[in-house]
Structure 1
Amino acid sequence: MNVRHLTFRLLQVYVAVVRLGSVSRAAAQLHLTQPTVSQQLKRLAEAVGEPLLDTHMKPTFIGTELYHAALDALSRFEDFGGFLQDARQGTRGGFSIGVVTTAKYILPRLLGPFNRQFPGVEVSISVGNRGYILERHRHQQDDLYLFSHPPAGEHTLSARFIHNPLVLLTPPDHWALQRPPTDFAALLNERFLLREPGSATRLVFEEWLRSRNLQLKRVMQIESNEVIRMSVEQGLGLAVLSEHTLMEGQHRLGRPAVPGFPLGSYWYLVCHGNRRLPYPAANFVRFVNEHLARCVDERHIHNDLDALLAHIG
């Protein structure tokens, strides 16, 4: 048998004839003429090189095996058709997302509801500091990214969707809680605990200081939000952190009423504009756009994802 001469249409015709036991009924079901069906049966028998049907339109021994093989093949491709439809709707398959460290407090609130609605989608997550995720973005290693200070570039698409307030934190017994200063300059002699250079939180804070011609006198660098938070609790210094880092668990921290705080910042979903976004990733963006209020406190919502969706389709 020369399998290259077999086509799905030949197999469909043969299955219909065997099931219905009649060329005319098969022709009617397939919206073909009887001569066309007869010709297709002849071509199939020639390709196999053996008789497939007897004079009563019953399959021969070999014809029966071909019938079962045709059913298997057509069934598999029907399954594939269903899979393809699900994949194009973004309900099957997977995507990867690169997440800056602080965003790990946000992502589970988005992925949890998404996973419950679309359990057939697998998500791969890479978490690291901003420099690490920027490198992944530069080499297009992920489909989506979650930044609070998105990278620039003509082929980068981004849209903000969550407000990310940066709050000033002090130890629980700090003097500024009882006597809030009227100007941040009164705190310049305090030790500040900062993330590594390049951290988005640090970038925003340092830009705010420069805009007011202010400069910190004492700085300790700590490359972990959790360690910074615990260090502030223990009186090691002051810090500026995302409010979202404080939403899990109980913390003994002060938040003095200092003018200018919290600082304004946002979370952005980012993707590459010069490559097609996988269907499941696009579906995730649509889900977040439509169900953000289910995932995040409404006071933090600042949703511009419609603009991103307009680009990715």
Structure 2
Amino acid sequence: MRRVLKTLLALLVLAGAAAAAGLWWVNAPLPIAGTTAVDLAIEPGTAPRAVAQAVADAGVPVSPDALYAWFRLSGQARQIRAGNYALEPGTTPRSLLRKLVRGEESLRTLTLVEGWNWRQLRAALAQAPDLRPDSRALDDAALMAALGRPGVAPEGRFFPDTYTYGKGTSDLAVLARALRAMDRHLEAAWAARRSDLPLKSPDEALTLASIVEKETGRAADRPLIAGVFVNRLRRGMPLQTDPTVIYGLGAAFDGNLRKRDLQTDTPWNTYTRAGLPPTPIAMPGRAALLAAVQPAQTDALYFVARGDGSSQFSATLDAHNRAVNTYQRGQ
């Protein structure tokens, strides 16, 4: 009997020691070398044992069997989520499992800037780290068809914001999110529009907002600039806005807008053609969208840059010419 008790006691001591060792192990940092995080990719449907093996295969010197045993013992093995994770030095088996269960992915960011045109957006996509370039081989028409908008020009259709994504995400997925975001913001702006606007559709509001975005140097001027363009549209006056001319010139624009450029007819030249251009010229932000549908009540028909980011507004051509002399010609 005494021998049995001794054996049981020894087993209890061993079990306690094993439990203590296990508790120490799950809370001890994994031996991740250096100061750089290890990238771990877990595909959808990966079994817990394969997840443990993937951690070792990613470059973390850990026993896959021990890690799998911890996953099973925790009762959370089946809660591990697919995704892309960064395992930083100092990560323990416990914190690793918590990260995998919560789906705390390692995310990258892509910022689309207000006023960017489509060419600039595509360049940013091409340079975004770890973003799968599925759109690279597609022309504009094919790309928009892939996003479910066949026949729609891409210019101005994506909302400027900062978007997060996991490593290996398709750039089409990011574009789809930006497209849906613009849809929501444009729908909200159109629902809040003034009833007397000379705009026939949300698309026209989007085009006007893109012009307001490019013409505005100071945020407070947006509603006034929109008011000038709305007044011109009501009177059938050409908008005569330089950013549309520059857009129409495309790659031919060398940074210096000349008189001959203003006289070169393109679909976007608002000096040679009345009304709004056929497409937006850039990505407008929320403030520009709201300014386009809620312009300031003003009698101004002209504005000129003061040189400090703000604009001088005038109701008559004579007053405008004086403002041009003052702020542009220094007379």
Normalization by structure 1: what TM-score?
0.26
More strand per residue: 1
Normalization by structure 2: what TM-score?
0.25
